[in-house]
Amino acid sequence: MSVSRTWSVVLSGLTGDLVEVEADLSNQIPGFSIIGLADKAVAEAQKRVQNACANSELALPRRHVTVNLSPANLPKRGTGLDVAVAIAAVATELALDAASLARTVHIGELGLDGRLRPVPGVLPAVVAAARAGFTQVVVPWANAAEAALVSEMHVCGAISLRDVARLHGLDVPCIDEAPVEAATSPQQEADAPELAEVIGQQDAVDALLVAAAGRHHVMMSGPPGAGKTMLARRLPGILPDLDDAAALHVAAVRSLAGMPVTALPRTPPFEAPHHTASAAALVGGGSRSAVPGAIARASGGVLFLDEAGEFGGHALNALRQPLERGVIEIHRAGFQATFPTRFQLLLATNPCPCGNYGVRGGACTCPSLAIRRYLGKLSGPLIDRVDMELHLPRVAVTAAADTDVVTTAAARDRVAAARDRAQRRLHGTGWATNSEATGEWLRSGPCAPGPAVRRPLDEALRRGALTIRGYDRVLRVAWSVADLAERDALTPADIGRALYLKRGVAE
């Protein structure tokens, strides 16, 4: 065989494009060249491939090997093409099964010793291969479990280039080699922490259920030790489980971020970047391929910003586009990638820099200007998106005797039932949760409350105690309260509860 062909995938964000890899021999000075819009990492593949082949006793021909990557106009990035390039080059000389090569997609980087090294983004790459109609992939041994998450794909987890050659019919003896392990070992998905462990914050737990039911963004304020973080960490556990498509998306984003993936996650993700996190950690970056940051990794789940006022302007800027458009774009020299960002935002703040302002028995030492500046940082685009504000008191140890404790399992069932009810009501609107409903629909749509029910709201609006945006927020949250209470129409009590959950109504 002189021209050989096989396949690989290049990724642009979560989107994969199939690349045909052709290798040909010519009677020029012995050498190796790769053509077809390859970046530096791909161009360097020739060195890795030559060494890997030599060390695998799969000698390349002593002629000139030209490898062509097509389509030619598609930029080829990263090291994931190595295996396809190597096996195509080997097949120009040795007796490999051409049909087998042509129906297989190869993904992986080569070490100089000929072993396959794991690469990020195997899951979205295999998804792309499946969509293109391929049924067989070769991936590094360390990525095999991840690739196997794509159902009906025949996955070959190869330890070395010799394994790959043997798969395509070359008669090479099997040698016992240790596979290259992933850099980070897979973490067992920990069970979501138990809601019943939250003691003495019954009101806040109830509010968390309302937020979960309507997918409302929430601002929590309270002194240190009030349990803001504890509460936040329990939100993913009471949200509905991810369905197959959402779980595959979350897993694919983690794969691109270089996190080990061995199972489809069912609990929505929880990302809690620190306020000192860099813009790159929040937005993402990467030099050879797009590595999603915390904002993209939170999609489908919860983004928790503790000490929200301490986040700098770069973080607030980074959040603007995701909150407004539901996507985040990563721009890098030579490439750009877009990730969806449908997360639920949880903000937490102390009431002042020292944390004691307005706390019973607390002695705040902050100058009033400092307090104003501290809370002022939270105004603007972030707070504009928040439907609910929770004020958590400091819990006295003696207040630990709650009468009816809510477990995570019970809360999740109630939230799921409330979501079902909301989805039936919102059927045909294109919205899935109360937080998405527009003010106009809430005020004058088919389910709008009558004058008697909305009287307290109308009066607050007339007095100037509520803006029209605040009015709409109260209606949104009121529907989540009603959904949890299994009511099909709003009552004055639902409105009252929602008004309470939107304290600081005078905006």
Q: Which residues bind Zn ion (CB under 5 A)?
A: 352, 354, 356-357, 364, 366
Cα separation, 345 vs 305, whole angstroms: 8
Residue 469: CB minimum distance to Zn ion, A? 30
- Render the burial of 199-223: b for 16+ CB within 10 Å, e for the rest: bbbeebbbbbbbbbbbbbbbbbbbb
Residue 230: CB minimum distance to Zn ion, A? 22
* Residue among 373 and 443 whose Cβ is closer to Zn ion: 373
Cα separation, 212 vs 235, whole angstroms: 7
Q: Crossing angle, helix 82-91 and helix 45-55, to 10 degrees?
A: 60
Task: Using only the alpha carbons of the chain, give its radius of gyration.
Answer: 28
Only one residue has tokens 């409350």, namely 449
* Residue among 224 and 340 whose Cβ is closer to Zn ion: 224
Which residues are registered as beta bridge partners of 374? none
Cα separation, 32 vs 478, whole angstroms: 68
* Residue among 320 and 372 whose Cβ is closer to Zn ion: 372
* Residue among 304 and 357 whose Cβ is closer to Zn ion: 357
Residue 236: CB minimum distance to Zn ion, A? 31
Residue 371: CB minimum distance to Zn ion, A? 6
Of 124, 149, 166, give the one whose Cα is nearest residue 18.
124
* Residue among 308 and 501 whose Cβ is closer to Zn ion: 308
Of 262, 182, 322, 276, give the one whose Cα is nearest residue 254.
262
* Residue among 278 and 368 whose Cβ is closer to Zn ion: 368
Residue 306: CB minimum distance to Zn ion, A? 17
> 3-state DSSP call for residue 481?
helix
* Residue among 129 and 354 whose Cβ is closer to Zn ion: 354
> 3-state DSSP call for residue 356?
coil
CA 427 centroid distance within chain: 27
313, 383 in Cβ contact below 8 A? no
Which residues are within 8 A (CB) of 487 and not within 5 positions of it... i.e. 6 or more apart? 494
195, 237 in Cβ contact below 8 A? yes
Which residues are registered as beta bridge partners of 335? 332
69, 35 in Cβ contact below 8 A? yes
The phi, psi pair for 209, rounded to 5°, reads -65, -40
Residue 366: CB minimum distance to Zn ion, A? 3
* Residue among 289 and 356 whose Cβ is closer to Zn ion: 356
Residue 224: CB minimum distance to Zn ion, A? 11
Q: Give, in order, the Cα–Cα distances in Å from 201 to each of 27, 58, 161, 473.
A: 79, 67, 58, 24
Which residues are registered as beta bridge partners of 116? 110
* Residue among 369 and 397 whose Cβ is closer to Zn ion: 369
Residue 376: CB minimum distance to Zn ion, A? 15
Residue 159: CB minimum distance to Zn ion, A? 60
